[in-house]
Amino acid sequence: EAQVTQNPRYLITVTGKKLTVTCSQNMNHEYMSWYRQDPGLGLRQIYYSMNVEVTDKGDVPEGYKVSRKEKRNFPLILESPSPNQTSLYFCASSPYYREFRELFFGEGSRLTVL
């Protein structure tokens, strides 16, 4: 089944404890992206990647890092989480052809930083 898989789905952590949210897609998509969703603010793009070893900042990259060493994986790293990073995070991928730019989203990871 074609899918985007995120882990963990739920996490409660404490300020300053490094964590990684993994994202993997099995559709051979070039494009992958991370978003956070907060009430009243909608979906905001954190980072995106057009291909292996190519990443770029979205609208809210501060406090996050990403890497794209393999085409299928695009982990989101929080080196020193803070309470303002409590949010619902979505990973998404897309083939990004001209005629087919649909984003496929993972199920989301709800992160709470205490």
Q: Given the rule CB under 8 A, which residues bind other proteins?
A: 31, 33, 35, 40-45, 48, 50, 56, 58-59, 90, 96, 101-108
When the beta carbons of 24 and 33 are compared against other proteins, the nearer one is 33
Handedness of CA 87, 25, 57, 64 (dihedral sign): positive
Q: Taking the complex as a whole, how short is the minimal distance between the CB of residue 104 and other proteins, in angstroms?
A: 8
When the beta carbons of 65 and 96 are compared against other proteins, the nearer one is 96
Q: What's phi and psi for 35, nearest 5 deg?
A: -135, 155
When the beta carbons of 15 and 28 are compared against other proteins, the nearer one is 28
Nearest CA to 9 out of 27, 21, 1, 18 is that of 21
